[in-house]
Chains A and B, each alone.
Chain A
Amino acid sequence: MMRTTAPSHLRALAPALALLALGACQREQRSFQETPPGATAFPAVQTTDIQAGPKTVDPAVNTYQENRVAVSQGQTWYTSFNCAGCHAPGGGGGMGVPLNDAEWIYGSDPENVFATIVEGRPNGMPSFRGRLSNTQIWQLVAYVRSMSGLTPKDTWSPRSDHMQEGRPNRTAQPQRQLP
């Protein structure tokens, strides 16, 4: 007599799968039409931890930080728009400061990095306001932060198909120093 479906031990797997679901969906999410965080308003940038009242942060900011695809796309932009020309592939630095270390002159929170790219900074960082879409900038933010290990481990880029770059120094702790 042919046995039909397997019994209860497979059903027991369901809760475990449900737990995995949360992690997997976040990391692998791909979408074609999206409204990136801060699309309608410039995100609030703080240069100090101390504030009055509750902290206001766009919660959507974090979805990019934990999304492997966004980091990968950011890596593509990093090459396409020649960030590597000053900061070196892999973020080792050259004409521009290293991006894969623990020193963040203007802060390492996503909003800070976003502001850096949009506004430019003294001593050579160009302003990309109006030149890149918000989505592209947030993807770059995610990639830049991943270079120093500030995003979850499963979002980091493995090796690329180009000539080998220096290995990222992913020992950075989140730090903010003011000029």
Chain B
Amino acid sequence: MASTEAHLPAGLLSPAERELLHQTWSDRPGFWGWVTAVDHKSVAKRYIFTAFLFFILGGLEAAAIRAQLARPENHLLDPDQYNQIFTMHGTTMMFLFGVPVQLAMAIYLVPLMVGTRNISFPRLNALGYWTYLIGGLFLYSGFILNTGPDAGWFSYVPLAGPQFSAGKRVDVWAQTVTFTEIAALIAAVELIVTILKQRAPGMSLNRIPVYVWAVLVTSFVVLFAMPSVALASMMLAMDRLVGSHFFNPAEGGDPLLWQHLYWFFGHPEVYIMFIPAAGFVSDIIPVFARRKMFGHTALVLSLVATGFVSFGLWVHHMFTTGLPQLGQSFFTGASLMIAIPSGVQVFCWIATLWAGRPRFATPLLFVIGFIVLFVCGGITGVMVASVPFDQQAHDTYFIVAHLHYVQVGAFVFPLFAAIYFWFPKMTGRLLSERLGKWNFWLFFIGVNVTFFPQHFLGLMGMTRRVYTYLPETGWGPLNLLSSVGAAMIGVSVLVFIANVFLSLREGVPAGDDPWGAHTLEWATASPPPPFNFAHLPVVGGLYPNWERGADAPVVTGLGNSHREVLATTVMDAVPDAIQTHPGPSVAPLLVALAIGVTFITGVFTPWGFVVGPVLLFPTMLMWLWPRRKPAAERAWCEERV
């Protein structure tokens, strides 16, 4: 249990002890330190950076699509290239950017926000990143080598099956999904444990920030949704490589089975991206409205309700497949119902802004843009929840418009708000406000110019996933307008990249708390030291950084010569145990490589599933090998007991 050091006034750390603490928690220096890092901030920063690289690649693919579709009968891309590019665009944005960046932001922010030293399973965290990276590199290597997938990000069978998709392309897709889904499950598990068991003392359930609740809900959604796509992709891989008949109607299989399994994952997947985004907004608005958030309990309950109900919507992706009408009605009901918690959140946000004193810094601009785009996307979502309307709109550009309004508007915009908001914390420098405003306006106008016309294109008959269209359809002008908007979005992303690089070099130093914010991460330095807080705070309310004075209570008695973390109870965050955390280790990278060998060679030969586990065994042994405690640590533990 935490105890007061008898020989130091108030139990605070002396400079020498602080230096020791710093050494204990730091990553090792140089390249080896980079490879062995288990600090959640190090892993999260590279995770976020990698995800943004994939965002840019996905954006380039989108640029190619819009360039090809800007004119009727364009010859920029042939059908095969176009099919590969739109498949890569969807796969990259959903699997390599969308879910990973949200989980990575959570991996960075959650331990700081709940007031602990590191995420719950540091080496597992590193494993998650390496697995994700290997998956992404595998996909893009395939793409470069003419083996990139070309059957859509949703890979419907029988088109993606063994007979109609010859070669290894779809197998590369299926295994990429496997890698990213392992990484997501890892992140979900460690976030749940961190949030439930490692909160600072006093941070009872009703004092958890809304963003942290959002991450908790999201992690549970990941836990229940990912296995479905893991199963589906494994079944597809087996059909293609081993001769099974899961999806072969001639032998008793069913192509619709794929759709059910895929969308059972696919619908919660988009909520995995949206729920943390709503969490960002709920913790950014109080800072820029300079007022406590209205309706904290309602917001939290809305997030939980959204998480639950998101599992009851998947058939709305299948309204045209001829399923029984009564069954479809349930999914219409649920799809309409999920608008209610979203609406509650929007009303609470607007109410807080109304009651506060807004200051229009870039994060707030992105939040306002998000609300506008999300309401529009949510309304078109209510429209397509109706089966009759969806029978016209399904698989047309109306859906493309809807999905981009909710994905770009309700996920990317809050993400940009979060980046502008937390960049000073992560790097110690503020992003330029001037470039930020250019970024916002170009992006906001660009998104509307790109995607609003697509609503009309859909109702005028333009179907999705078409590499070209005839001039007689009359779709040319709106497509050209849409492509012009896409160019604007490209420019805005360039402005963002410029902003990041310039600010890293010459940005205004941020200090601990440039925004006057209310969550715990702003109570430590920018960027935070490796140990996050020299003294873990004791929390007394929902807005700790606003409520804590200079003499606020802190936790003392954790060891400085080895990594110790405080575990607390689930409901009331009463200190419960002290955990020893592992230091830097290369085992996660090695295990990830063994997993990579298993699944990558498995695409080409079944021996992969023999060689891989053979490599996995020693690497896992290395990971799990008991560590002999150094003398200082042994002495410390014995003295405490």
Contact = CB atoms under 8 A, between A and B. Distances in A.
A–B contact via C-beta, under 8 angstroms: yes
Interface of A: 1-4, 7, 17, 20-21, 24-25, 27-30, 32, 68-69, 71-73, 75, 154, 157-164
Give the 3 A-B CB pairs with smallest separation, nearest first.
A72-B166, A24-B145, A158-B162
Contacts of A7: 31, 34
Given A24-B146, A24-B147, 15 more contacts: A1-B504, A1-B527, A2-B45, A3-B45, A17-B144, A21-B144, A24-B142, A28-B145, A28-B169, A30-B80, A68-B168, A73-B166, A158-B243, A160-B162, A164-B245
Contact of B141 (A17, A69, A75): A17
A1 B27 CA distance: 13
A112 B144 CA distance: 36
B490 interface: no
Interface stretch (B186-194, B226-234, B246-254, B261-269): B246-254
B248 A161 contact: yes
Interface in B406-446: 426-428
Contacts of B45: 2-3
B167 interface: yes
Nearest to A27: B167
Interface centre among B79, B145, B169, B426 (most CB of A within 10 A): B145
A28 B168 CA distance: 8
A132 B45 CA distance: 59
Interface centre among A1, A20, A157, A159 (most CB of B within 10 A): A159
A25 B426 contact: no
Interface centre among B163, B164, B169, B241 (most CB of A within 10 A): B163
A19 to B, nearest CB: 10
B240 interface: yes
Contact of B147 (A28, A157, A164): A28
Contact of A162 (B146, B166, B250, B527): B250
Contact of B46 (A3, A21, A71, A159): A3
A52 to B, nearest CB: 40
Contacts of A24: 142, 145-147, 168
A24 B171 CA distance: 13
Contacts of B168: 24, 27-28, 68, 154
Contact of A163 (B147, B251, B427): B251
Nearest to B34: A3
B51 to A, nearest CB: 13
A29 B141 contact: no
26 contacts: A1-B428, A2-B45, A2-B504, A3-B34, A3-B49, A17-B144, A20-B145, A21-B145, A24-B145, A24-B146, A24-B147, A24-B168, A27-B168, A28-B146, A32-B80, A68-B168, A69-B166, A72-B163, A154-B604, A159-B239, A159-B243, A160-B162, A161-B161, A161-B163, A161-B250, A163-B250
B165 to A, nearest CB: 9
A31 B604 CA distance: 23
B428 to A, nearest CB: 8
Contacts of B146: 24-25, 28-29
A26 B241 CA distance: 19
B17 interface: no
B461 interface: no
A160 B163 contact: yes
Nearest to B148: A28
B506 interface: no
A75 B163 CA distance: 9
A20 B144 CA distance: 11
A16 to B, nearest CB: 10
B45 to A, nearest CB: 6
A71 B162 CA distance: 12
A3 B163 CA distance: 45
Contacts of A25: 145-146
Contacts of A162: 250
Contacts of B164: 161
Contacts of B34: 3, 7
B453 interface: no
A25 to B, nearest CB: 5
B544 to A, nearest CB: 27
Contacts of B80: 30, 32
Interface centre among A4, A160, A161, A164 (most CB of B within 10 A): A161
Contacts of B79: 32
A24 B250 CA distance: 31
B166 A161 contact: no
Interface string B496-510: 000000001000000
Contacts of B240: 158
A24 B146 CA distance: 7
Contacts of A154: 168, 604
Interface centre among B251, B427, B527 (most CB of A within 10 A): B251
